[in-house]
């Protein structure tokens, strides 16, 4: 019948359980959703076990596909296994956050005397950050765009030179604070509008893991090969300034055009331009620098920052992050390190994306399921949920193939796992 011994429900019901367990905000909410929407009374413990088991099966399948790709000779890795090749292939990556707490540590703490356990719980509240770990997420995008002989959008969009919008943007992304004065005099917030020549995203697939960045690189490379990215005539790799991103680019995607997320770079330009200046004085400087960066003339901003740093002097050791010369020095260092990935005028002519907005929104979607002050996962459980969350966000529908083939792969053998 194609049903594993551990399956206590029909394949159709199992699919509903796993969908609810992977997409609801918690297993308890998944139980309530199934009762209300499907009239299925399934306990949260059963949902958790079923979701984790299917997640483990998908991880095994994913790892097997990655290993098979790694065994291919290099020429085959650079070819497309499918007939349909995307016109533009884009890879983006970034990191999210999750709390990891293994069961052994939890059980050991529960076995302590009450007063000792109370002290441990108080310490946990004081240092909750000790449980936070990073997740690794990547997006594979097929894009439609046109190559232009001239820059299709030579003037920076209004959204990036609107005081109110930029103040909010840099605070949310980098935690930078602009001068408080004159904020009320800022003109009305500009509405974001599609820019001329902006690429259109067609299909997104997602990879997510708790493993290290090298494992993510292998998984992304294997997934990109399966989608025919290697044969695409135009390819781009987009990320922020984290070294981990560019390590993956160098080792797995060196033949892709490297692009620094425009908004992250702009945040440093904003901080450097307004450092030590009143808003009325600093805003014209920022708008000029922002236009230079948009036009691919980042060297002009670097020279201006060098002059500004000479005026302020180098920051001292352990100087406050809010000091003007620290902000100027940080902006200068960031732009110098990333200058080779900031030719935005050329990227627009080639019809390539300028921002990593898709990976940012994808991480927010995944975090909705796995991130929370009261949500703790084991490493194994986290990996299973991340895999399923990525599967459900992928428009290539990998789970449709998985559920179709699963009955035929049933062995009739019960799966056992060691207690941890």
pLDDT score for 177: 63
Tokens for 338, please give them.
């990333």
Residue range 34-43: mean pLDDT, rounded: 95
Tokens for 271, please give them.
């901080």
Q: 377: closest CA among 38, 52, 140?
A: 52
Most confident of 72-76, 114-118, 172-176, 285-289: 285-289
Between 74-83, 274-283, 291-300, the lowest mean confidence (pLDDT) is in 74-83
Between 87-101, 139-153, 319-333, the lowest mean confidence (pLDDT) is in 319-333
pLDDT score for 127: 47
Between 3-17, 288-302, 371-385, the lowest mean confidence (pLDDT) is in 3-17
Residue 392 or 85, more confident: 392
How far apart are alpha carbons 405 and 347 in whole angstroms?
A: 41
Percent of the chain with pLDDT over 90: 71
Per-residue pLDDT tens for 178-188? 555 544 433 33
pLDDT score for 115: 42
Residue range 249-276: mean pLDDT, rounded: 95
Q: Is the pLDDT of residue 130 over 90?
A: no
Average pLDDT value for the chain: 87
Between 42-46, 162-166, 267-271, 382-386, the lowest mean confidence (pLDDT) is in 162-166
pLDDT score for 189: 38
Alpha carbon of residue 393 to chain centroid: 13
Which pairing describes strands 257-260 and 200-209: parallel, antiparallel, or unpaired? unpaired
Q: Is the separation of the CB atoms in 21 and 48 below 8 Å?
A: yes
pLDDT score for 197: 85
Between 82-91, 115-124, 210-219, 323-332, the lowest mean confidence (pLDDT) is in 115-124
Q: Is the separation of the CB atoms in 301 and 269 below 8 Å?
A: yes
Q: Is the pLDDT of residue 59 over 90?
A: yes
Residue 171 or 124, more confident: 171
Tokens for 33, please give them.
């959703």
Which pairing describes strands 257-260 and 132-144: parallel, antiparallel, or unpaired? unpaired
pLDDT score for 345: 97
* Model confidence, pTM: 0.86
Residue range 160-183: mean pLDDT, rounded: 75
User: What is the dihedral angle through the alpha carbons of 215, 219, 221, 222, rounded to the nearest 10 degrees?
Assistant: 140
pLDDT band with cut points at 50, 70 and 90 for residue 5: low
How far apart are alpha carbons 62 and 68 in whole angstroms?
A: 10
Q: Is the separation of the CB atoms in 152 and 196 below 8 Å?
A: yes
Q: Is 66 left (phi over 0), alpha (psi -120 to 50) or beta?
A: alpha
Per-residue pLDDT tens for 341-358? 999 999 999 999 999 999
């Amino acid at each position: 019948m194609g049903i594993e011994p551990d399956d206590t429900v029909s394949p159709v019901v199992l699919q509903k359980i796993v969908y609810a367990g992977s997409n609801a905000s918690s297993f308890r909410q998944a139980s309530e959703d199934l009762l209300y929407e499907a009239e299925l009374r399934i306990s949260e413990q059963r949902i958790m076990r079923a979701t984790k088991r299917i997640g483990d099966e998908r991880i095994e399948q994913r790892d097997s596909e990655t290993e098979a790709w790694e065994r291919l000779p290099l020429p085959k890795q650079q070819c497309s296994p499918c007939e349909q090749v995307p016109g533009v292939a884009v890879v983006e990556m970034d990191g999210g956050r999750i709390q990891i707490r293994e069961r052994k540590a939890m059980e050991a703490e529960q076995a302590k005397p009450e007063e000792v356990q109370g002290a441990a719980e108080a310490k946990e509240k004081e240092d909750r950050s000790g449980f936070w770990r990073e997740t690794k997420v990547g997006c594979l995008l097929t894009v439609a765009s046109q190559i232009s002989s001239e820059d299709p959008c030579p003037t920076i969009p209004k959204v990036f030179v609107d005081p109110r919008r930029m103040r909010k943007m840099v605070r949310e992304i980098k935690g930078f604070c602009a001068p408080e004065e004159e904020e009320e005099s800022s003109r009305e917030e500009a509405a974001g509008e599609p820019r001329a020549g902006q690429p259109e995203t067609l299909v997104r697939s997602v990879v997510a893991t708790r493993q290290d960045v090298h494992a993510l690189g292998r998984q992304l490379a294997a997934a990109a090969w399966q989608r025919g990215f290697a044969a695409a005539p135009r390819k781009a790799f987009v990320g922020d300034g984290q070294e981990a991103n560019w390590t993956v680019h160098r080792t797995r995607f060196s033949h892709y055009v490297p692009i620094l997320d425009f908004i992250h770079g702009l945040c440093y330009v904003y901080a450097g331009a307004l450092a030590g200046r009143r808003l009325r004085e600093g805003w014209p400087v920022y708008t000029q620098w922002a236009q230079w960066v948009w036009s691919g003339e980042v060297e002009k901003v670097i020279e201006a920052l060098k002059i500004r740093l000479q005026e302020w002097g180098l920051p001292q050791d352990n100087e406050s992050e809010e000091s003007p010369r620290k902000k100027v020095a940080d902006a200068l260092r960031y732009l110098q390190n990333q200058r080779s990935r900031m030719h935005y005028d050329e990227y627009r002519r080639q019809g390539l994306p300028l921002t990593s907005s898709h990976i940012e929104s994808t991480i927010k979607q995944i975090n909705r399921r796995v991130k929370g002050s009261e949500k703790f996962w084991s490493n194994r459980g986290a990996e299973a949920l991340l895999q399923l969350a990525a599967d459900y966000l992928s428009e290539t529908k990998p789970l449709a193939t998985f559920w179709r083939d699963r009955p035929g792969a049933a062995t009739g053998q019960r799966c056992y796992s060691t207690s941890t």
